[in-house]
A and B are shown apart, each in its own frame.
Chain A
């Protein structure tokens, strides 16, 4: 089977988010980059599906030249090849992102045959639009199940378990299908050293789509005001325990 998975490069912010002077981006000079944990599980699932059923897994990103790092990471854990839609680093809104991904999938399917499954994160880590996977499914005319915590291929269908209040809702989709997944779907493997070396030689196809004028146009980012708290230190080490018990009593969680 052929499985294609879409990932987005995002900064790994630590304890606080610092913005650039124009407040249009996160200051990333001192930060590493990664992809959403949801997408990490998507990559792992794609690799497992191909290990079990044969075929090919492809990882795709739309992002700056540096996003090749995230494609190589995905190939290090087993994705076979990559498609890089290279941008100048400007933000693309969800609609434009979806359109570019759809065009790339159509071209790739034209050359290499249909994808049985296209995998997305339930939401991107940074923008959190909750929509790219659904838009791409509509454009390709394929069914889509979202927020999946389990996925089982059974012949011509895929059984999808969607996280829902008090349990999981089950869908059964025919192939070809689109899914969006969540962290917890699996426990992604760590890349091995040979895996990383192999990834350096795997092919990355690049193209440079034109960025349309965004219809959801970010004007600026704002770090929400914290309550400006500084914790009251109740004590140090084991000696603080009686004071902790007092506090638990005061707030009514300890009878």
Chain B
């Protein structure tokens, strides 16, 4: 067995999901070989974290100066053929899934995205953003898969991998499909994805104005403000605030969810939260089954009371 792990990196800094993918690849390889591949516009790229692999192949091409998904995929396909890879594994990130989907399309083979475990041709993969798992059997000569982030703990490699540059042959289509510009995210406030505390409002907030107490509490806690899809659909908050399967995935120390029922698609976005506090008028709301703490009551009374109690505690 020869496994090839695709790693994403920024100037040599390999991201955590890629190290997790390399770790899964080495678990699958058993006694076989594990190779890693990165794309770079320079052969002299120095990897900051060592992946679990015997060799790191560096596909070197000027086009890799910016992200070029099809070009990366063509480089992987070329290398996988040369190595006789029996499996290609990538991180289950936006880019990892995009690159592997191009690989799958080029080879016309199945792709199992966001796997949490693999055994032979049997995979367990994530559906519904993590609310449901699928066990499946893949019929393929070369197993193509991506690894769901955080499903596998990354084990660092020994750092003794040989570094082997190669120059891939790329199609015109691949050279043309690349990032030509970048728009920086508007700065302002705490970023939802990285916040230590998130205070969110749902339909129970009642209106755009209903978010004022949530903003106030978030301000006191240095928290980011989030919301449910019911709120973005009503136009009360922008979609950038939405937590969930089709919104932002968050991982705070505590998630304070006010007037949110706890639909599976919402909860898919806050599985990474260490603790959840639900403030809800309804004792039977589904969110109480995934929350650690709850306050039963009208959020329009409870949330300002918490802010007042924080102020009182600070001044007292």
| Segment at the A interface, from B18-26, B38-46, B134-142 | B134-142
Secondary structure call for the B interface: mixed
A219 contacts the other chain (Cβ, under 8 Å)? Answer: yes
Verify A146–B98 contact, CB threshold 8 A.
yes
Closest to A242 in B: B309
Number of chain B interface residues as a range: 35 or more
Considering the chains assembled together, what is the distance between the CA atoms of A165 and B233 in angstroms?
24
The number of residues on chain A lying at the interface, defined by a beta carbon within 8 Å of a beta carbon of chain B, is: 82
Q: Taking the complex as formed, is B104 at the interface, i.e. its CB lies under 8 A from any CB of chain A? A: yes
A106: CB under 8 A from chain B? Answer: no
Total A-B pairs in contact (CB under 8 Å)? 261
Interface string of B284-316 (1 = CB under 8 A from A): 011111111111111001101110111001000
A residues apposed to B, CB below 8 Å: 13-17, 26, 36-38, 93-95, 123, 125-131, 134-135, 137-139, 141, 143-147, 161-164, 166-173, 182-184, 187, 213, 215-224, 226-227, 229-242, 244-245, 247-248, 251-254
Going nearest first, the 8 A-B pairs with the smallest beta carbon separation are A15-B286, A184-B239, A238-B305, A237-B297, A170-B181, A138-B105, A231-B294, A241-B305
Binding site for A on B (CB under 8 A): 66-67, 69, 94-95, 97-98, 101-102, 104-106, 108-114, 122, 124, 126-140, 146, 173, 176-185, 196-197, 221, 229, 232-233, 235, 238-240, 242, 245-247, 253-254, 261-265, 274-278, 283, 285-298, 301-302, 304-306, 308-310, 313
Q: List 11 A-B contacts (CB under 8 A).
A: A16-B286, A16-B289, A125-B245, A129-B113, A135-B101, A167-B184, A168-B183, A171-B177, A224-B132, A224-B133, A241-B302
Given A216-B137, A231-B289, 10 more A-B residue pairs with CB atoms under 8 Å apart are A15-B289, A37-B246, A134-B101, A143-B173, A184-B242, A216-B112, A223-B133, A231-B288, A232-B292, A245-B306
